[in-house]
Structure 1
Amino acid sequence: MGVEMGLWRADGDKLTRITATVIGLEAQLESYIESDPSMLGETLLIIGRQVTTAHGGYIDLLAIDETAAVHVIELKRDKTPRDVTAQTLDYGSWIATLGRTEITSIFAGYRPGVALEEAFEEQFGDTLPDLVNATQVFTIVAASVDAATERIVRFLNEDFGIPINVVFFRHFHDNGAAYLARTWLVEQDAQMAPTPATKHKTKSREPWNGQDWYVSFGESPAGRHWVDGMTYGFISGGGDKWFSRTLKNLTPGSRVFACIPKAGYVGVGTVLDEAQRFDETSVLHNGVSTALNSLPLQGKYRHEGDEDDDMAEWSVPVEWTHAIPREQAFWKLGMFANQNTAAKMRNQFTIDQVSAAFGLDD
């Protein structure tokens, strides 16, 4: 049975049905959705309009959601219902081959001068996930479709778990006022959630250059002080195995981007030695190898010398290329942050922004 929407005006005890019109509606819907994609039922960031595919087609609208899944939004317009369904899937098969770099390039063409990372954080209040376009969602926008198309979409969605759906819009006019009504073919609560396609994960993730690492310098009044790390050349973490284990992945020659959580980036430097317990670490001070715990540190570092190495404070000596006080920490919307003490820095946007802010040549 076809999906039907009705609208009535209530005048006291009398109901008057308002007749829907489709004249000009589908021509306007693309602009409506672009200006306010939430009319599709969730928060989306539009990343492209009339996007040219490798096969000569044009995707009406592309968007990403808060998980960085890509939404292919195709309007029915003058296409037959079956054609628009096949075309949407065809476009989706091409989109699924694109990696993070290609998605970023599409957005750059759509909004020149704005980084995808910045726009994502502005829209969703969070950092762009490491995996972009790991999954795809397909939405057909129409005033109506035939029964056969409804069966095909339901079959793909409900039996095969392909996240394809039809959203219906109807235009109503009443006493000089215009209204837009919406309903879905497959109820949103029943729609299958997209499943990541493993074979595309590598392309969807930014490549790692094998050198750069993000490190978190977690300050606390009774613990670490960045002024110590900046002055004497080290990063550290501890109090639990979870905080120290990732530091052990750093190797001499690695480049680290030091960030104070909720403050910003404060240093870029080169790792001089592997991670060791804080009480066993030496740093170069005034050109002399000096035991770290013998220096006049402002921080307490209460985990040093703990009998359980998993609970101990661990540290890594670093030669800072550029380091600044906490009060001058650099942060910009869309930059990378991570809950781990050390993580591979794949986010080229962050590397570029920090390097420019710190005046680094590389």
Structure 2
Amino acid sequence: MALEMGLWRADGNKLDRIKPTAIGLESQLEAYIESDPAILGVSLLVVGRQVATAHGGYIDLLAVDETGTVHVLELKRDKTPRDVTAQALDYGSWVSALSHSDIVAIWNAYKPHQPFEVAFAEAFGGAPPEDLNASQVFTIVAASVDAATERIVRFLNEGYGIPINVVFFRHFEDGGNRYLARTWLVDHEVQSTKSGSAGKQVKSKEPWNGQDWYCSFGDDGTSRNWDDAVEYGFVSAGGQSWYSRTLKNLPVGGRVFACIPGSGYVGVGTVTGAAVRFDQLNVDTDNGPVPLTSLPLRGDYSRPGDEDDDVAEWAVPVEWVHTVPKAGAVWQKGMFANQNSVAKLRQAFTIERVSTAFGLDDD
């Protein structure tokens, strides 16, 4: 039996059913969702409307959620049940092959005057995940649903775990008031099914240039101080192996973008040596190489138990190309940040913004 939605007016002990009105709702739903995708009950950022596929079709709406999952939103309009479900899956097969850069290009064609990273940060409060389009969700939007569509979608969703669902809306009028009601065919929860293809996971990431690295420099004013790092040429991390482990990934010759959490990007430089314990790092001075710990440091890089390498502070020597004080840190919505001490910096948006702010493009 096809799913039906009802609305009643409660007047004392009497219930009067309000009949839905036929106002050509399906022709308006695309505009409703584009202007406020929250009416679907999930936070989405629409990245394209009437997106042309490589096979001659047009996806009504394409959107992403905060996890980077891409949502294909297809309106039923006058399509037959077989056509609408087949079309949603066909579009989904095309979308699944899109790379990170492809999704950003679709956004740029849709909203050319706002960077995707900024729009994502405004919608979800943080930078886009590195894995963008690692999974997809297919949603059929309809003003009504028929038994055949219900049967097909339930078969795919509940029987085979394919993340396809139907959200349908009905329009009601009562005493001059107008209402839009929504329900889902299958109990709704955001589905994020990861592809089993290792190649797909790599493709869903923004390409890495093989050179640039992000480094989180935790300047808390006491145990670690950015002015020390600038004056003596290093980045450091420690306290637990989880922090120092990724620091050791910095390769000699790599370019490192230093970021102070909560402030922003403060320096770009070139790695000149491998990671060593902080108390074993020598730096060049006018009198030749000397232990870093013998110099007047503003921070205290020792801690109880740091005789254990996993607890100790570790440092990597860096030749700075450009630095700014902590108070002059560069930050913009959508810039990359990471919980690890060091990570590959793939996000072109961050690299471009920092390079421009530091004048690196002029060198």
Using structure 2 for the length normalisation, give the TM-score.
0.95
The one-letter amino acid of 2:201's match is K
Q: CA RMSD in A?
A: 1.6
Checking the alignment, whether the CA contact within 8 Å between 1:281 and 1:315 is kept in structure 2 is: yes
* Residues 1:205 and 2:205 are matched in the alignment: yes
* Residues 1:21 and 2:21 are matched in the alignment: yes
3-state SS in 2 of match to 1:229 = helix
The one-letter amino acid of 1:194's match is S
Q: Displacement of 1:348 after TM fit?
A: 1.2
Paired position in structure 2 for 1:101: 101
Paired position in structure 2 for 1:214: 214
Checking the alignment, whether the CA contact within 8 Å between 1:22 and 1:143 is kept in structure 2 is: no
Q: Displacement of 1:304 after TM fit?
A: 9.8
Q: Distance in 2 between matches of 1:228 and 1:103?
A: 41
Checking the alignment, whether the CA contact within 8 Å between 1:270 and 1:320 is kept in structure 2 is: yes
Paired position in structure 1 for 2:177: 177
1:113-152 equivalences under 5 Å are: 113-152=113-152
Q: Distance in 1 between matches of 2:287 and 2:89?
A: 64
The one-letter amino acid of 1:20's match is P
3-state SS in 2 of match to 1:180 = strand
Q: Displacement of 1:146 after TM fit?
A: 2.2
Checking the alignment, whether the CA contact within 8 Å between 2:222 and 2:298 is kept in structure 1 is: no
Closer, same or farther: CA 282–35 of 1 in aligned 2, 3 Å: same
Q: Distance in 2 between matches of 1:201 and 1:350?
A: 22
Paired position in structure 2 for 1:188: 188
Q: Displacement of 1:164 after TM fit?
A: 0.4
Q: Distance in 2 between matches of 1:48 and 1:268?
A: 35
Q: Displacement of 1:174 after TM fit?
A: 1.6
1:182-331 equivalences under 5 Å are: 182-189=182-189, 193-199=191-197, 200-286=200-286, 288-303=288-303, 306-331=306-331
Q: Displacement of 1:303 after TM fit?
A: 4.0
3-state SS in 1 of match to 2:248 = helix
Closer, same or farther: CA 294–18 of 1 in aligned 2, 3 Å: same
* Residues 1:335 and 2:363 are matched in the alignment: no
The total of aligned residue pairs comes to 360
Q: Displacement of 1:8 after TM fit?
A: 1.7
Checking the alignment, whether the CA contact within 8 Å between 2:47 and 2:62 is kept in structure 1 is: yes
Paired-residue identity, %: 64
Moved more, 83-92 or 142-151: 142-151
Q: Distance in 2 between matches of 1:128 and 1:11?
A: 49
3-state SS in 1 of match to 2:218 = coil
3-state SS in 1 of match to 2:257 = strand
Checking the alignment, whether the CA contact within 8 Å between 2:305 and 2:311 is kept in structure 1 is: no
Checking the alignment, whether the CA contact within 8 Å between 2:3 and 2:147 is kept in structure 1 is: no
Q: Distance in 2 between matches of 1:118 and 1:182?
A: 30
Paired position in structure 2 for 1:153: 153
Closer, same or farther: CA 254–174 of 1 in aligned 2, 3 Å: same
Checking the alignment, whether the CA contact within 8 Å between 1:277 and 1:304 is kept in structure 2 is: no
Closer, same or farther: CA 96–338 of 1 in aligned 2, 3 Å: same
* 1:44-69 deviation digits (Å, cap 9, x = unpaired): 11110000001111100011111110
Closer, same or farther: CA 213–286 of 1 in aligned 2, 3 Å: farther
Q: Distance in 1 between matches of 2:54 and 2:258?
A: 40
Closer, same or farther: CA 337–287 of 1 in aligned 2, 3 Å: farther
Closer, same or farther: CA 29–277 of 1 in aligned 2, 3 Å: same
Moved more, 310-319 or 286-295: 286-295
The one-letter amino acid of 1:273's match is G
Q: Distance in 1 between matches of 2:212 and 2:287?
A: 25
Q: Distance in 1 between matches of 2:109 and 2:284?
A: 48
Q: Distance in 1 between matches of 2:174 and 2:49?
A: 32
Paired position in structure 2 for 1:48: 48
Q: Displacement of 1:145 after TM fit?
A: 2.7
The one-letter amino acid of 1:198's match is G
**Unaligned ranges ≥5, structure 2:** none
Q: Displacement of 1:288 after TM fit?
A: 4.0
Q: Distance in 2 between matches of 1:207 and 1:283?
A: 34
The one-letter amino acid of 2:307's match is E
3-state SS in 2 of match to 1:20 = coil
**Unaligned ranges ≥5, structure 1:** none
Moved more, 6-15 or 352-361: 6-15
3-state SS in 2 of match to 1:127 = coil
Q: Distance in 2 between matches of 1:137 and 1:311?
A: 43
Moved more, 215-224 or 97-106: 215-224
* 1:42-101 deviation digits (Å, cap 9, x = unpaired): 111111000000111110001111111000000011212221111111100000000100
Paired position in structure 2 for 1:67: 67
Q: Distance in 1 between matches of 2:141 and 2:286?
A: 68
Q: Distance in 1 between matches of 2:162 and 2:70?
A: 14
* 1:224-272 deviation digits (Å, cap 9, x = unpaired): 1101001111111112211111111112111000000111000000011
